[in-house]
A and B are shown apart, each in its own frame.
Chain A
Amino acid sequence: MARVRIALFATCLADTLFPDVARATVRLLERLGHVVEFPAGQTCCGQMHVNTGYQREALPLIRRYVEVFEPHEVIVAPSGSCVGSIAHQHAMVARRLGQDELAQRAEAVAGRTYELSQLLIDVLGVEDVGAHYPHRVVYHPTCHSLRLLRVGDRPLRLLRSVAGIDLVPLPDAEECCGFGGTFAVKNAEVSTAMLADKMRNVLATGAEVCTAGDSSCLMHIGGGLSRLRAGVKVVHLAEILAST
């Protein structure tokens, strides 16, 4: 596989609160022999604004994303949710607000923006990334990676190739963890009820680690597990794949 220049969209959440996830993404891609760039003008995809109803306020963020990443051929983000928003909402919001030219450009950039497991398998053509992770792990398929991006079993294929891993199935895996962005605050009690069931399923597996492709869902599940003092860690997919 030739060296690919990859622009990293760190996502505002990982950049600000979970820098290990973005660092792991860099480490993994560089270990595979590729070149990672971090366009400094990047901020946020705007999903929180769109999903809370503030499309006008999201528009400058969408424009920024398009302008910052337009010069790049291959773009990756360690988040199914942010990439899902870029793919399904950027052009839609631009069009709704009468910005047809921006919508077209957004579609083109979205077409080159990949979630991490999509990039590894579809673009870089690798399933075994040479990782070593001797732990019992459950994988939670996040809703947006599963149903917006249709990443399917790509993350699981990557995880199965990790040396030393004990990957165990998660009951009712495809059910939402209850995060949902501002849903977790606006409908906190329903969100918590969903989280409780997710945590019960995670704990039933006896796993040491719960992994997923989204820092946001992991923040939610991890926040609940931490409150329970459950002793189960949440670790982003990128961090497992970067481990040696």
Chain B
Amino acid sequence: MTTFLGMPVAPRGVGHLRQEAPFPAAARQALGDAQLRANLRKATSTIRAKRAAVVAELSDWDELRAAGQAIKARTMSRLDYYLTRLEAAVQARGGVVHWARDATEANDIVTRLVADAGATEVVKVKSLTTDEIGLNDALAAAGITARETDLAELIVQLGHDRPSHILVPAIHRNRAEIRDIFLREMAGVDPGLTDDPAALAEAARRHLRRLFLTATVAISGANFGVAETGTLCVVESEGNGRMCLTLPRTLISVMGIEKVIPAWADLGVFLQLLPRPSTGERMNPYTSLWTGVTPGDGPQSVHLVLLDNGRTAALADPVGREALHCIRCSACLNVCPVYQRTGGHAYGSVYPGPIGAVLSPQLTGIADNASLPYASSLCGACYDVCPVKIDLPSLLVHLRARHVDEDIRERRLPSAEAVTMAAASWVMSDPGRYAAAQAASRAGRLLRRHGRISALPPPLAAWTAARDAPVPPRQTFRQWWRTQHGDPQPGGAPDGDP
């Protein structure tokens, strides 16, 4: 008998989906960086306020969210069908479709296509998915230089840094840091460059314009792929994407398979849903749409690489698959009290914040990102702002349960936590045992000094590191109730274990 071990997850050793250190340890480093916390607080609170204002303008926002959610749920339920439709439609319009089961395959495909085009330098836009698979490293290994053209991605690349936000990859940098990076890394930059935003943008513009006019190959991501028409869509703010998507002869787009949408009309929903929660704009400045090859206009060699890299494994979980509905607006990052304090690097993956905490572990297998589902206080702010109503708190709870189930299966001896939880369940599933444990907890009164408890043994020492603990009162509520009402009425209290 064969055992089905599940769909393959994203492979190790390639790409950027895995934590190097557990979240609490990675977060500690970020929390100690006062500049980082100040940068994050300023940037996220600005975007939050803009988002709230422009979303409030729409009277049908909740209906739009429900429509987006429904389209995504329908797409996931027949993903194979919509993907083959997309493939056929792209081919019918002169595009070439490639299927990549994982990061390694996708990197190989793209590298080969660039080499076939005879290029040693490529321009890039919408690079989140290609960051996921570590494409720039793979291209570099083949002697190909990748040039990021999205301003924030450019800052990250020139700073030899990692993106820390889905939409604003350099959110952790302030403008003084950006000026320093430009002065250090940008060839031919004016040495008198100031940190005035307009001056920084002008420096980037001069740098990028040269690249756009010489590049023969562009690599992009895609926000949406329309199965009905074979149209790909990129949404952006700067126009640098428009340059990438139209000037080079060859255009290679790497798209996660979950980005397919069934019909052209669905864009009407998603193009309303995306900009307001992501940048706080009513409409993004540039929406580029292209369908295969248009003779004599734009790229004459058009490729679409459809990437799995663990997405089918996520799809196989009927609850967890909701994470695939994400349209990468990043509103959940901006409202997350955890993200706001740690930034994106602490999550270890290109997908940070609440959505990253539910997506990354599913793409890699939970064991490889086991601390991420716990990197949330379950405050629910993310769910409220999600434009496609992904129930992130419930997904986090679901993945914690999956993690515990897997962990228990794989260990020969249960963890200390599992033992504690089982004991607590045993105690609390019986009122007699529960009352006895309550009585025993009165011993905690012995720990008090000046009416406070300021030190507890591990693991609760983590609590008392910064917080006093409550002193157990002399009498529990149920003891008091008994003194007032005599022995409890038996009504509704079943005896023994269920």
A209-241: which residues lie under 8 A (CB-CB) from chain B? 219-220, 222-224, 226-227
A15–B438 touching, CB < 8 Å:
yes
Q: Are B493 and A178 in contact (CB under 8 A)?
A: no
Convert A39-58 into 0s and 1s, putting 1 for each residue whose CB lies closer than 8 angstroms to a CB of B. Answer: 11111101011111111011
Number of interface residues of B (CB under 8 A): 71
Q: Are B31 and A188 in contact (CB under 8 A)?
A: no
Interface set, chain B 4-35, CB cutoff 8 A to A = 23-24, 27-28, 31
Bound complex: CA of A56 vs CA of B476, how far in Å? 28
Query: B289 an interface residue at 8 Å Cβ cutoff?
Result: no
A60-B429 in contact given A50-B397, A192-B465, A195-B466 (Cβ < 8 Å): yes
Given A60-B497, A67-B494, decide whether A52 and B477 contact each other with a Cβ distance below 8 A: no
Interface-located stretch among B174-182, B230-238, B484-492: B484-492
**Selected interface stretch from B54-62, B77-85, B297-305, B455-463:** B455-463
How many residues belonging to A are interface residues under a CB distance threshold of 8 Å? 78
**Given the complex, which residues of B lie within 8 Å of A41, measured CB to CB?**
431, 492-494
Which residues on B sit within 8 Å (CB–CB) of A14? 477
Do A189 and B491 touch (CB < 8 A)? no
Contact B425 A57 (CB under 8 A): yes
Interface string of B349-388 (1 = CB under 8 A from A): 0000000000000000000000001111111110110000
Q: How far is the CA of A217 from the CA of B454 in the complex (A)?
A: 18
Nearest Cβ on chain B to A94's Cβ, whole angstroms? 12
The answer to whether A223 touches B397 (Cβ under 8 A) is: no
The number of inter-chain residue pairs (CB within 8 angstroms) is 221
Contacts of A194 in B (CB 8 A): 337-338, 341, 377
Interface string of A189-202 (1 = CB under 8 A from B): 11111110000000
Task: Return the chain B residue nearest A50 by Cβ.
Answer: B397
Residues of chain B lying within 8 A (CB to CB) of residue A178: 337, 377
A148→B341 contact, CB < 8 A: no
The answer to whether A72 and B441 touch across the interface, beta carbons within 8 angstroms, is no
A residues in contact with B401, CB < 8 Å:
50, 53-55, 96
Chain B nearest CB: distance from A142 CB in Å?
Answer: 9
Interchain CB contact (< 8 A) of A53 among B400, B463, B488: B400
Instruction: Assess the A17–B473 pair: CB atoms within 8 A.
Output: yes
Whether the pair A185, B379 counts as a contact (CB closer than 8 A) is no
Measured CA separation A92–B397 after assembly (Å): 11
Is B498 within 8 A of A22, CB to CB? Answer: no
Per-position binary interface string of chain B over residues 443-477, scored 1 when its CB falls under 8 Å from any chain A CB and 0 otherwise: 00000000010100001101101111110110111
B452 CB, min distance to chain A CBs, angstroms = 6
Interface membership of chain A positions 76-92, coded 1 if the CB is closer than 8 angstroms to chain B and 0 otherwise: 00000000000011001
User: Are A220 and B467 in contact (CB-based, < 8 A)?
Assistant: yes
Chain B residues within 8 Å of A51, by CB = 378, 397, 400
Would A188 and B473 be within 8 Å (CB), given that A147-B381, A178-B337, A180-B376 are in contact? no
The SS class assigned to the B binding surface is helix
Cβ-based interface call for A112 (8 A): no
Nearest CB of B to A150, in Å: 10
Q: Is A126 an interface residue (CB 8 A)?
A: no
Give bound CA distance, A12 to B429, whole Å.
Answer: 12
Residues of chain B with a CB closer than 8 A to A57's CB: 421-422, 424-425
Please measure, in the bound complex, the distance between the C-alpha atom of A187 and the C-alpha atom of B376, giving whole angstroms: 9
Contacts A88-B394, A187-B23 given; indicate if A39 touches B493 (C-beta within 8 A): yes
B375 / chain A contacts, CB cutoff of 8 Å: 187, 190
Question: In the complex, are the beta carbons of A183 and B460 less than 8 A apart?
Answer: no
Name the distance in Å between A39's Cβ and chain B's nearest Cβ. Answer: 5
How far in angstroms is the closest Cβ of chain B from A71? 4
Q: A57–B23 Cα gap in the complex (Å)?
A: 25
Partner of A40, one of B31, B378, B478: B478
B472 to chain A, nearest CB (A): 6
Q: Are B378 and A183 neighbours in the complex by a CB distance under 8 Å?
A: yes
**A215 CA / B467 CA spacing, docked (Å):** 15
Q: Mark B410-448, 1 if CB is under 8 A from A, else 0.
A: 000000011001101100111100100010010000000
Interface of A is mostly: helix
Contact A180 B379 (CB under 8 A): yes
A169 CA to B382 CA in the complex, in Å? 24
> Quick one: closest B residue to A12, CB to CB?
B428
The answer to the question of A61 belonging to the interface, with a C-beta cut-off of 8 Å to chain B, is yes
A96 to B405, CA, bound (A): 13
Query: Is the beta-carbon distance between B425 and A54 smaller than 8 angstroms?
Result: yes
| Contact residue among A69, A146, A180 (Cβ-Cβ distance under 8 Å from B492) | A69
Tell whether B264 is near chain A: CB-to-CB under 8 Å.
no
Contact between A148 and B476, CB atoms less than 8 A apart:
no
Please determine whether A16 and B472 come into contact, CB atoms closer than 8 angstroms: yes
- Please, how many angstroms separate the alpha-carbon atoms of A92 and B424 in the complex? 21
Complex CA gap A64/B492 in Å reads 10
1/0 per residue, CB under 8 A from A, across B391-414: the answer is 000100100111111000000000
Set of chain B residues within 8 Å of A96, measured between Cβ atoms: 401
By beta carbon, the residue of chain B nearest A178 is: B377
Task: Using known A-B contacts A64-B498, A176-B377, A194-B341, determine if residue A37 contacts B28 with beta carbons closer than 8 Å.
Answer: no
B480 within 8 A of A: yes
Q: Which residue of A lies closest to B484 (CB)?
A: A26
Task: Tell me how far the C-beta of B119 lies from the nearest C-beta in chain A, rounded to whole angstroms.
Answer: 44
**Chain A CB within 8 A of B291 CB:** no
For residue B129, CB closer than 8 A to chain A, the reply is no
Q: Nearest chain B CB to A89's CB is how many angstroms away? A: 7
* Contact B467–A23 (Cβ < 8 Å): no
Given A189-B27, A227-B454, 20 more A-B residue pairs with CB atoms under 8 Å apart are A10-B477, A19-B477, A40-B493, A52-B400, A53-B403, A53-B404, A54-B404, A54-B425, A55-B401, A61-B428, A63-B429, A143-B378, A183-B377, A186-B374, A187-B24, A187-B375, A188-B462, A194-B341, A224-B467, A226-B452
A-B contact pairs, 13 of them (CB 8 A): A14-B477, A16-B477, A46-B428, A57-B424, A60-B497, A67-B492, A184-B462, A187-B27, A188-B466, A190-B31, A190-B338, A194-B338, A195-B467
Please list the residues of chain B having a beta carbon within 8 angstroms of any beta carbon in chain A: 23-24, 27-28, 31, 337-338, 341-342, 373-381, 383-384, 394, 397, 400-405, 417-418, 421-422, 424-425, 428-431, 434, 438, 441, 452, 454, 459-460, 462-463, 465-470, 472-473, 475-478, 480-481, 485, 488-494, 497-498
